[in-house]
Amino acid sequence: MTGSSGRQRVPTDSLQHLIVNLPPLPEQEAIANVLRSLDDKIELNRQMCKALEDTAAAIFKSWFINFDPVRAKENGDEPKGLSSNIAALFPNSFSDSKIGDLPVGWDISVVYDWADYINGAAYKNMHFSDEPDALPVIKIAELKNGIGPGTKFTNTDLGDKYLLETGDILFSWSGSPETSIDTFLWVDGKGWLNQHIFKVVPKNKKSRAFCYFLLKYLKPTFIHIAKNKQTTGLGHVTVKDLRELKVANPGEKLIEAFDEIAAPIFKRIQEILEQNSALVKTRDTLLPKLISGEVRVENIEEA
């Protein structure tokens, strides 16, 4: 190393003389093909997830934001694509409200009404551990990229309410507004929830999909709220904001009807996300072993 004042660097001539063992070119190409196949499957799964999420989000917006079934009935038409039982749950007219025209019989609620929002614990260096029973500490980085080399682990139990399981809905409420404020579906098994993330626990088990797609729909609103509080690049969405943000409340029957339609889509999204998590772990584990020769491509193909 050369240089001083904390800015040391590797000399160029040292790099030029560095010997690196590489597998033969045919082996390199075979390794690239294996990794490409995994990457292609991961990308295909991402596209499938987006398509499924877009489908459920479109239904949510049609029912609860644009009120399309109500408008159809107001015009004397049958709501498109709905069974008679579900169509009967929608009124055929609107009334004035503090947040604009609402379907007759609907109420106004705040986002906080439908779920409990449990903030994560403040895990610190003294809590981190390499013990076999340690679980990952889930921060915003893990929500975006999964469990990786930078993930910290702990076996310190700060309370069951911080324990995560596959299928939990998580809302990242603090950070750079454009890149950090979002809602996620956790699929990487047990872990401990770190601060700056809410675990969203629906008060009605049959409103899980409704809660998820409500938070997803409100993402631009949350980003706007966070930007208005932004300091040193960071913004926040607080419980106070969730208690003040008003939305239309269609009632339990319609929420449960939406959940019946969206739940299978939601389940499939979770299954695909779980598969992608496993594929990413396989890829990241295989790559160094393939390059070092510890694992050969033909062994993978035989397996």
Looking at the 3D structure of the chain, how many domains does it have? Answer: 1
Please report, rounded to a whole number, the percentage of residues in the chain having pLDDT higher than 90.
Answer: 67
What pLDDT does residue 5 have? Answer: 57
pLDDT in tens, 117-142: 999 999 888 889 888 889 999 999 99
**Does residue 162 lie within any of the structural domains?**
yes
Report the relative pairing of strands 102-103 and 94-95 from DSSP bridges: antiparallel
| Whole-number pLDDT of residue 67 | 97
Q: Has residue 166 been placed in a domain?
A: yes
What residues make up the domain containing 209?
55-277
What are the pLDDT digits (tens) for 191-250?
A: 999 999 999 999 998 999 999 999 999 999 999 999 998 877 789 999 999 999 999 999
pLDDT digits (tens, 9 = 90+) for 89-121: 999 999 999 988 999 999 999 999 999 999 999
Label residue 253 by pLDDT band (50, 70, 90). very high
Q: Tell me whether strands 191-193 and 163-164 are parallel, antiparallel or unpaired.
A: antiparallel
In a domain? residue 66: yes
Indicate which CATH number applies to the domain containing 152: 3.90.220.20
Let me know if residue 232 belongs to a domain. Answer: yes
Any domain includes 8 = no
Residue 11: pLDDT band (50, 70, 90) is confident
Task: Report if residue 21 sits inside a domain.
Answer: no
| pLDDT top residue among 1 and 66 | 66
pLDDT for residue 14 is more than 90? no
Report pLDDT for 299: 60
